[in-house]
Amino acid sequence: MSSLLYQQIARQLADDIRKGFYKPGERVPSVRKLSTQKGVSHATVLHAYATLEDQGLIRARPQSGYFVHNTPALTAPTPPIARVEQPYAVTRSGIISEILHQSRREGVIPLGAAVPSSQYLPLRALHQQMSKVTRFHSQKAYSYIFSPGYEPLRRQIAIRMRDAGAVVDPSQIVITNGCVEAIQLCLRSVTNPGDLIATEAPSYYGLVQLCDLLGLKVIEIPTDPDSGLSLESLEKAADKWPIKALVLTARAGNPMGATMPEDRQRKLVAMMAKRCLPIIEDDIYGELMFEPGRSKALKAFDCSDTVMYCSSFSKTISPGVRTGWVIAGRHQSAIEKLQTFTTLSACSVSQMSVAAYLENGGYDRHLRYLRQEYRKNLSSFQLAVQQYFPEGTQITRPAGGFILWISLPGDIDAQRLFEQALEHNISIAPGAVFSHSEQFNHCLRLNCGVPWNRETEAAVMTLGVLAKGLLSKNKVVEAVDEEVA
Amino acid sequence: MSSLLYQQIARQLADDIRKGFYKPGERVPSVRKLSTQKGVSHATVLHAYATLEDQGLIRARPQSGYFVHNTPALTAPTPPIARVEQPYAVTRSGIISEILHQSRREGVIPLGAAVPSSQYLPLRALHQQMSKVTRFHSQKAYSYIFSPGYEPLRRQIAIRMRDAGAVVDPSQIVITNGCVEAIQLCLRSVTNPGDLIATEAPSYYGLVQLCDLLGLKVIEIPTDPDSGLSLESLEKAADKWPIKALVLTARAGNPMGATMPEDRQRKLVAMMAKRCLPIIEDDIYGELMFEPGRSKALKAFDCSDTVMYCSSFSKTISPGVRTGWVIAGRHQSAIEKLQTFTTLSACSVSQMSVAAYLENGGYDRHLRYLRQEYRKNLSSFQLAVQQYFPEGTQITRPAGGFILWISLPGDIDAQRLFEQALEHNISIAPGAVFSHSEQFNHCLRLNCGVPWNRETEAAVMTLGVLAKGLLSKNKVVEAVDEEVA
């Protein structure tokens, strides 16, 4: 029996090593540990390890234990266990998942997800603050900071909200796991499954999916690239349907880049207040307006607790720290409760580090730098798209942010463009994912939060060639390859 | 008009300073910034600042800007703006929120929330790893790491899962914002609002609330402090009602401390597999079993993708990093999608730091230390409760973790005890919050993840005296005060 046992143990560990669980040079579990884990004697484990040593898979180091042998043959992983998958690539959420993952993939030009290149993030300054926080306040930084979140961070955000034209108290702010959680908490606190909400057409693809997941019905209100959401269409829709809330971005919207003029912002808030309907405002690009003194958030015009304000530092400081916030007015208690019992709280280290970074005062300078760079990038992308894309291509002129929305001429299917571009290691976001309808199938969104250089210019050129190929309905992939090379 | 403007600006800034937005010694916005923000001339802002200087509220420093004057009179904050509140203190979620916040409050003995004292967390080692990660891999650490999460962390967790008796591949693991998000994602992926699920009676208070928030109906299955969930009751309930899933903790449960014997674990998994009903296993205390070789997770007995496994490092490494995980089998794609569109992902810095800490190899040693300390603490608390609490008090004997469940004799209302204890700066968790029913109103839970010393012993003594007072139905608060003093 004992001979069988040691063989079983040896076989399992050999499997693990071949699968890459333990990498070459890494220590395998100690004899003591494995004997406890398996409930067998030390002698049995020693026997198993001796077998593996004979097979050349591990090697003992005196006083240190057993280590995976450093041979090249072991580094090649076996294929992973097959996973049960939903039908995947053809769904919108599958495309979005692809777009997100491509934004972090080596060798891909990430024009798909709206993620700024890390060179635009204040990483050195943030790292300095995080080091201080974890060194001098480690007890607090590694403990829970429960909803509504870290007070000094809420104070810094309240100060920042003045730039958006909104006067709020730190006690009115709840820290969230990014802007997505903020919007989710707002929607869950003002709607029930089956309810109808109004969104922009087109709107942020995460919102399109979130509404599906929450079981919400959606009416999409047309958005004009210049003046934003059509108030006239909204009014008509609200007359006709039992809308429960409106979700929109009033400044540098995603993907249209639209910014609503102040008079229309006022009108919108008044109209919704009159109907007692909440507005969930996603202002994540608000701090990236190119002329910061000349625009305000919707929240600035809210005198009757109509606007629930959501934002985050993902586009300006760091997406990886997952630090957003929500100003929810009379729904605040409900939102704190929802957060407490669905994610408990946001990361403490992140909350304290971002607060320290904001306090330290370099943020305004950093924002000025970002605005200048993104404006330049947008301009370069716009001109290149104009030059390389088929005649009849339409391009937005955002007043902030780093996102370009492009409408292709004729019957070009942007999803085909998305697929072809990927073969050239270029990621874009096809229009279809920004709506429940089919009306943006000939559109695409470009992330211009990446440096403009020969590589990005070549990518835009390739996209143009591919688009022209799709327009002429002829498969010209070979020609493209030549032209690009 | 201009004279009015500068007065308005001065008044608002004065308000902000009095409210504590800008603390004594801090810089107020620069003239340039405020003039952009308000859309007024530099001269107007300078005029406003001069007024505030005259009032002694701010002071100019050459070449540096304006600073809040450092006078003691300014440090006393005015009361904050009143917030619209839901009826609060009487609800269970209100009590839980109180318990959570008291666990972090200065001067309160935190026996309420199941949060280990920070002296039991490996803060120095974690800090070292986090410093390395943010210094040498800052681009990755501050960028998104999308669902399913950081691969090296998933690999470390797969290795750890062997200790729980479960053989899983890193690709089967999804990193979450703590265990609460893991459980939430499981519930949302296998139920719809209105569905019925089975839970333990009593069960983790967060779960009780989460079910409410998800609109789930709940049938509570009795849990025996020794053998865990009653399989007989579960079988009967499943025969009678359309149960969609079971949520439970099979090892060192919360609050009962029960651990299910292996034969009953096997039976449970087989029973649910036969009915094609998923089990959502919360194994957050699994690594804190006092005899680690002698117990396994339910997942260890799962050969038909019945068990969805949830856990986190909140009880062993750090709650503030919000790092948990879920092994969801055939529901994994759905869960990745749900996470992507509700919180996007977990904190990148946390994921990388915890992975580095686990790789570094001190974790097993740390766990051995924790088990030893928690076992000692539990024993001290048990003996003290036996000594100081009224005759007839019943106490659990957990085989792991740091939680004690106490049943008080007679008709003692533990919520009254909770309220009275708070007046003595002692936080406990009253039994009522662990169930939808009223059957645990005479019970309470004590967090023993705090060092045993004179202070904690005095707290248990005070609780005993208060409990005796409630038993005799006489208000003996004055006597208590004397006895405690």
pLDDT at residue number A164: 96
Residue where the block lists tokens 């990148």:
B348
Helix or strand (DSSP H, E) at A140: helix A138-141
Q: Compute the count of residue pairs across chains A and B with CB atoms less than 8 Å apart.
A: 265
- How far A455 CA sits from the closest chain B CA (Å)? 20
Q: Which helix (H) or strand (E) holds A152?
A: helix A151-161
Cβ separation of B104 and A330 shorter than 8 Å? no
pLDDT at A3: 56
Cβ–Cβ gap B144/A103 under 8 Å: yes
- Picking from A389, A367, A210, A405, the residue whose alpha carbon sits closest to that of residue A289 is A367
| B342 closest CB neighbour out of A184, A344, A364 | A184
Which residue from B130, B336, B343 is facing A181, i.e. has the nearest CB?
B343
Rounded-to-integer distance, Cα A207 and Cα A192, Å:
16
Largest CA distance in chain A: 84
Query: Is there a contact between A21 and B170 if contact means CB atoms under 8 Å apart?
Result: yes
pLDDT tens by residue, B51-98 = 888 777 888 887 888 888 765 433 334 344 444 333 333 478 889 998
Report the alpha-carbon distance of residue A331 to residue A392 in Å, rounded.
Answer: 47
Partner residue facing A121 (CB), from B35, B80, B142: B142
Instruction: Decide if B341 and A210 are in contact by the 8 Å CB cutoff.
Output: yes
Cα–Cα distance, B157 to B213 (Å, whole number): 30
Architecture of domain B123-360: 3-Layer(aba) Sandwich (3.40)
Residues A338, A111 contacting (CB under 8 angstroms):
no
**Which of A104, A127, A142 has its CB closest to that of B321?**
A142
CA distance A321 to B348: 6
Pair B35, B44: CB distance under 8 Å: yes
Cβ-based contacts of A84 with chain B (< 8 Å): 329-330, 332-333
Of residues A170, A115, A129, A159, the one with CA closest to residue A354: A129
Q: Note the pLDDT of residue B473.
A: 61
Q: pLDDT of B445-470, one tens digit each?
A: 999 999 999 999 999 999 999 999 99
Task: Say if residue B278 is preceded by a cis peptide, omega within 30 of 0.
Answer: no
Contact A293 B163 (CB under 8 A): no
CB-CB under 8 Å, B146 with A81:
no
Consecutive 10-residue averages of pLDDT for chain A (485 residues): 75 84 85 88 89 81 82 40 39 88 90 95 94 92 95 96 95 97 98 95 95 94 92 95 97 96 97 98 98 94 97 97 97 96 94 95 92 96 94 93 94 94 96 92 96 97 97 55 52
Contacts of A115 (CB under 8 A, 6+ apart): A103, A319, A447, A449, B143, B144
User: Counting beta carbons within 10 angstroms of the beta carbon of residue B458, is it exposed (0 to 12), middle (13 to 18) or buried (19 or more)?
Assistant: middle
Residue B321's pLDDT band, with cuts at 50, 70 and 90, is very high
Chain A contacts of B289, Cβ < 8 Å? Answer: none
Q: Which among A140, A142, A343 has the least Cβ separation from residue B343?
A: A343
Of A155, A329, A349, the CB nearest to B349: A349
Q: How far apart are CA B107 and CA B347, in angstroms?
A: 31
What are the DSSP calls for B43-66, one per residue? HHHHHHHHHHHHTTSEEEETTTEE
Helix (H) or strand (E) holding A468: helix A454-471
Interface test with A, best of B34, B40, B106, B134 (most A CBs within 10 A): B134
Interface test with chain A among B13, B322, B339, by most A beta carbons within 10 Å: B322
| Residue of A146, A344, A345, A353 to mutate, interface with B, max B Cβ within 10 Å | A344
Contacts of A86 in chain B (CB under 8 A): 333-334
Instruction: Please tell me whether residue B422 adopts helix, strand or coil conformation.
Output: helix
Of A213, A215, A320, the CB nearest to B145: A320
Structure tokens that stand for A120 in this block: 């635009």
Long-range (24+ apart) CB contacts under 8 A made by B32-41 are B33/A364, B34/B9, B35/A293, B36/A292, B36/A293, B37/A162, B37/A163, B37/A292, B37/A293, B38/A293, B38/B9, B39/A293, B39/A294, B40/B5, B40/B6, B40/B9
Distance between CA atoms of B105 and B97, rounded to whole angstroms? Answer: 13
Residues of A whose CB is below 8 A from B116 = none
Interface mutation target, options B123, B159, B343, chain A, most CBs of A under 10 Å: B343
Side chain identity, residue B157: I
Instruction: Give chain A positions within 8 Å (CB) of B104.
Output: 143-146
Pairwise CA distance, residues A249 & A75, whole Å: 49
pLDDT at A484: 54
**Does position B430 have pLDDT exceeding 60, yes or no?**
yes
- Compute the nearest-CA separation of B208 from chain A (Å): 9
CA-closest candidate to residue B21, choices B62, B80, B71:
B80
Please check whether residue A83 is in contact with residue B331, taking contact to mean a CB–CB distance below 8 angstroms. Answer: no
Which pLDDT does position A100 carry in this prediction? 92
Cβ–Cβ below 8 Å for A320 and B361: no
Beta carbons of B429 and B445 less than 8 angstroms apart: yes
Residue in B126, B143, B171 closest to A320 by CB: B143
CATH class of the domain whose range is A92-114+369-484: alpha beta
| CA separation, residue A188 to residues A127, A181, A318, B110 (Å) | 34, 10, 26, 32
Amino acid at B286: G
First to last CA, chain B: 66
In 3D space, the residue among B478, B449, B31, B445 whose CA is nearest the CA of residue B204 turns out to be B445
Across the interface, whether the CB atoms of A169 and B81 are under 8 A apart is answered yes
A342 with B104: Cβ contact below 8 A: no
- Nearest Cα residue in chain B from A295: B37
What CA–CA distances, in Å, run from A280 to A117, A186, A197, A244? 28, 7, 10, 11
Packed helices A348-360 and A151-161: angle between N→C axes, nearest 10 degrees: 50
Q: Do B340 and A97 touch (CB under 8 A)?
A: yes
H-run or E-run covering A18: helix A2-19
Helix (H) or strand (E) holding A96: helix A92-102
Give the pair of three-digit tokens for residue B79.
Answer: 């009361």
Q: Is B241 within 8 Å of B204 (Cβ atoms)?
A: no
| Domain B92-114+370-484, classified CATH 3.90.1150.10, yes or no | yes
Which residues are CB-neighbours of A191 under 8 A, at least 6 positions away? A197, A214, A216, A244, A245
Region A2-74: CATH code: 1.10.10.10
Query: Which residue in chain B has the smallest CA separation from A140?
Result: B320
Spans of all domains in chain B: 2-74, 92-114+370-484, 123-360
Q: Answer yes or no: are the C-beta atoms of A481 and A461 closer than 8 Å.
A: no
**What 3-state class would DSSP assign to B16?**
helix
Query: Cβ A213–B338 below 8 Å, yes or no?
Result: yes
Residue-level pLDDT at A474: 43
Contacts of B125 (CB under 8 A, 6+ apart): B357, B360, B362, B366
Q: What are phi and psi of A383, to 5 degrees?
A: -65, -40
In the numeric block, the tokens 């005060």 are attached to: B481
Chain A nearest CA to B64, separation (Å): 12
Q: Is A460:A143 a contact under the CB 8 Å cutoff?
A: no
Give A169's contacts in chain B (Cβ within 8 Å). Answer: 19, 80-81
Q: Where are the beta strands (DSSP E) in B331-388?
A: none
Determine the distance in angstroms separating the CA of A387 from the nearest CA of chain B, rounded to an integer.
32
Q: How far apart are CA B382 and CA B377, in angstroms?
A: 8
Residues in contact with B87: Cβ distance below 8 Å, sequence separation at least 6, in sequence order: none
Of A142, A210, A318, the CB nearest to B126: A142
Instruction: Write b or e for each residue in A365-375: b if 16 or more Cβ atoms lie within 10 A of its Cβ, otherwise e.
Output: ebbeebbebbb
Whole-number Å distance between alpha carbons of B143 and A433 = 23
How, if at all, do strands B429-430 and B443-447 pair? antiparallel
Whether B21 sits inside 8 A of A158 (CB atoms) is: yes
User: Strand B196-201 and strand B217-224: pairing?
Assistant: parallel
Q: Say whether the ipTM exceeds 0.95.
A: no
**Minimum-distance CB partner of A163 among B27, B37, B332:** B37
Per-residue pLDDT of B399-417, as tens digits, reads 999 999 999 998 899 999 9
Is the separation of the CB atoms in A425 and A276 below 8 Å?
Answer: no
